[in-house]
Structure 1
């Protein structure tokens, strides 16, 4: 069964690049949202194995979307990886505090990016009695 990945990216050229890279692996079924609001609407009908979240988007930024997702019990265990061109420690810390499990800076290194995607799409974190457990899919 294919691993479901939701890519949330407002920039068309970045979106096309990520789609091309991720479609190289036939194990992934890719869903694409062009903004945070569209992503939240899509999450009403399915629960992906991984969300790749652009941080800087108009209307609703990736941090707000991440906080919203993490506040919904049925979606809170989905790993979210932040994507951003900003690499300051404060930017990374803000994403982690919002609920992201990792932070990937753009431009990406394709090999490293694919390794992280494989790792995070195979592992889903769940909260049980306040303890984190890793469940392999």
Structure 2
């Protein structure tokens, strides 16, 4: 059975790249939200095995969405991995403090990205 991944990414170019990469792997079933608010709506009826969360989004950034998910008991066990172009230690710490289990910097290297996904989705 395929593992369910929710990708939350507002940037169309980044979103298309992640979709292309992940759809080459039939062991994953990809669902996509274009905003944090859309992700929260989807989570009302959908339980992914992993969430890939863009950090910098308008309206509600990825850290706020992560905190909202982690504060909801029925969602709090879903692992969330931050996606960001920022790689400062303080950025990574903020994501981990918000509840992310990992941090992937953009642009991604495809092999490392897929290795990271496998690690996060099986733990």
Question: Which has the larger strand fraction?
Answer: 1
Runs of 4+ in structure 1 off by over 6 angstroms are none
Q: Deviations over 1:89-118 (max 9, x none)?
A: 110000000000000000011101001111
TM-score normalised over the length of structure 1: 0.89
Q: Which structure would you say has the larger Rg?
A: 1
In the TM superposition, residue 121 of structure 1 has moved relative to its aligned partner by: 1.5
Q: How many residues align?
A: 123
Q: Give the TM-score, by structure 2 length.
A: 0.99
1:46 is aligned to 46
The unaligned stretches of length 5 or more in structure 2 are none
Larger helix share, 1 or 2: 2
SS at match of 1:7: strand
Q: Partner of 1:90 in structure 2?
A: 90
Any stretches of 5+ residues in structure 1 without a counterpart? 124-137
Residues in 1 aligned to 2:19 and 2:69: alpha-carbon distance in whole angstroms: 22
